[in-house]
Structure 1
Amino acid sequence: MSHSYVVTGGGRGIGRAVVERLRGDANHVVVIERDPSALAWTHARPRVIAVVGDAADEAVTEQAADLAQAAGTLAGWVNNAAVFSPASLDLPSAREVLDLIASNLGPAVVGCMTAIRRFLDAGTGGAIVNVSSHQAQRPVRGSLPYATAKAATEGLTRSLAVDYGAHGIRVNAVALGSIATERYEAFLRRQEPAAVTRIEQEMSLLHPVGRVGRPEEVAATIAYLLSDGASFISGATIPLDGGRSVLGRDPEEA
């Protein structure tokens, strides 16, 4: 029987690239996506199964797990669903801040719990990859809910790796730098040419490799972490940021 995977937030951008990579020649991939319009492409992809719903809803993740296990041996789960909502403590109430944190942390927690229950019940082990961000360590202004949720996601990753490693379950995270998704490209298209040039120059300075990342580069790393080739990697957060997290921009540089 072939392997199957679940990818949350898999309708667009990085999530879609991960789905395409994992599907390969024989695997089945279940995609969880809130926006039905983002799933139209799945109809033309054999072995891709779409589930419309909120990845923080256990009923939705359980449905996805059922479909994945009906299609093959559930081998991996990718928690990619996320929302970026700018906020700081001087604007909304504390309750609103907590809700914004939960909107990003919730899908990771629910996805991990669902996957681990299924791995344990099947006795097969499995792998989970949580998608984090460089902002978990170096937040930008206004990113308080997002950066807090991503930092918690990395803590969740380490804790689950410790708790369930003896059961053959590996849990890792990837901390992304800037990636050229559809959202990023659409943002550039809304700018004046001079602004686009300035933004691209700034991005090249932020990332030592001289550019932003590509969704397929993220997908390749996630696919590796889910594979048997990464069988001794667990509890790790892999910087997938072109060196952004280790760059020290300083006046001495000049």
Structure 2
Amino acid sequence: MKDKTIIITGGASGIGLAMTTKFAQEGGKVYFIDYDQKNGESVAKDLSSKGLDVHFIQGDVSDTSAINTAIGGIEGTIDVLVNNAGVSHIGNLENTSEDDFDRLYKVNVKGIYNCTIAAIPKMKENGGSIVNMASIASTMGIPDRFAYSMTKGAVFAMTLSLARDYVQYNIRVNSIAPGRVHTPFVDGFLAKNYPGQEKEMFDKLAATQPIGRMGRPEEIAAMAYYLCSEEASFITGGNYPIDGGFLSLKM
């Protein structure tokens, strides 16, 4: 990644932060886009103090105009785009309001459209790699994840379409399908919904993966890095589970 220009969305926390850190540590010039200005500025200050080449852009991936301005303002070509930003929702069809549905669509689906269409002209010049954050929910039914699964299924389909359309420009497009990953979102969810029972519920969630634990953000970041590296130059149009055996070993 040395001297390459990388864009990572949702790059200020959780999996996104692990990606921002990993790509920068490997010598990349990383522009990370995040909605949370305070946290984004803090991350940029911290990583820059360690000698890493990182640049924070405050922005909402669902805002077409803002994203066009942000990505259009990046000088030169773009080598890597990681569409990581996303939001979640718990509920079946009847528990999903129109506002819930629209909110998830705008961030998880339209957000990828906005960022990719803004970046693709800069990527066509020299080729590059795009990684989209899908989910195990892209290809299997998970209870009470109606809107979330809808968006992640769309991410998987967009990945296949983009890979087919842009292979001629030497742009590789893949997606990652994580299982449960231990991020601040998980801790916040447990604290809100199971006060006093956080450890018990955490252990239950971790045990749903056959490997017996949740994933770590750094493990997802390592997969993203590999798919964007020259070592993966023969890989495009794939969806890669990193789920502790959830899809293949679950009984």
Give the TM-score range, shorter chain.
0.7 to 0.9
Which deviates the most, 88-97 or 157-166? 88-97
2:3 is matched with 2
- Candidates 215, 219, 222, aligned match of 1:220: 222
Unmatched runs of 5 consecutive residues or more in structure 1: 250-254
Matched, 1:164 2:166: yes
Q: Following the alignment from structure 1 to structure 2, what is the Cα–Cα distance between the partners of residues 202 and 182?
A: 15
Task: Summarize the Cα distance change of 1:87–1:193 in structure 2 as closer, same or farther, 3 Å threshold.
Answer: closer
Measured in 2, the distance between the counterparts of 1:27 and 1:92 equals: 40
Aligned twin of 1:128: 130
User: Percentage identity across aligned positions?
Assistant: 30
1:74 aligns with 2:74: no
- Paired letter, 1:79: N
> Counterpart in 1 of 2:32?
31
Deviates more, 1:107-116 or 1:134-143: 134-143
CA distance in 1, matches of 2:22, 2:12: 13
Q: How far did residue 103 of structure 1 move?
A: 3.0
Q: Distance in 2 between matches of 1:174 and 1:141?
A: 21
1:114 partnered with 2:115: no
**1:12 corresponds to 2:18:** no
The residue aligned with 1:89 is 93
Moved more, 154-163 or 109-118: 109-118
Contact (CA 8 Å) 2:61, 2:107: kept in 1 or not? no
TM superposition outliers: structure 1 runs of 4+ over 6 Å: none
Aligned residues: 244
1:5–1:68 CA contact under 8 A, matched in 2: no
Counterpart mapping for 1:46-57 below 5 A: 46=48, 47-57=53-63
Aligned position for 2:237: 235
Segments of structure 2 that go 5 or more residues without pairing to the other structure are none
The alpha-carbon distance between structure 1 residues 95 and 215, as it changes in their structure 2 partners (threshold 3 A), is closer
Letter in 1 for 2:170: G
Q: Deviations over 1:147-166 (max 9, x none)?
A: 00100110000001000101
Say which is worse superposed, 182-191 or 156-165, in terms of deviation. 182-191
Q: Please give the TM-score of this superposition, normalised by the length of structure 1.
A: 0.87
Cα deviations across residues 79-100 of structure 1 (Å, max 9, x unaligned)?
Answer: 0111112343324555753453
Counterparts of 2:27 and 2:93 in 1: how far apart (Å)?
48
**Change in CA separation of 1:87 and 1:192 when aligned onto 2, cut-off 3 Å:** closer
Q: CA RMSD in A?
A: 2.2
Q: Look up the equivalent residue of 1:6 and give its one-letter code.
A: I
Q: Deviations over 1:40-92 (max 9, x none)?
A: 1212323211111111223333344345435xx52100001111123433245
Q: 1:252 — aligned with what?
A: none
Q: Which of the residues 129, 141, 151 maps onto 1:149? A: 151
Indicate conservation of the 8 Å contact 2:159/2:237, yes or no: yes
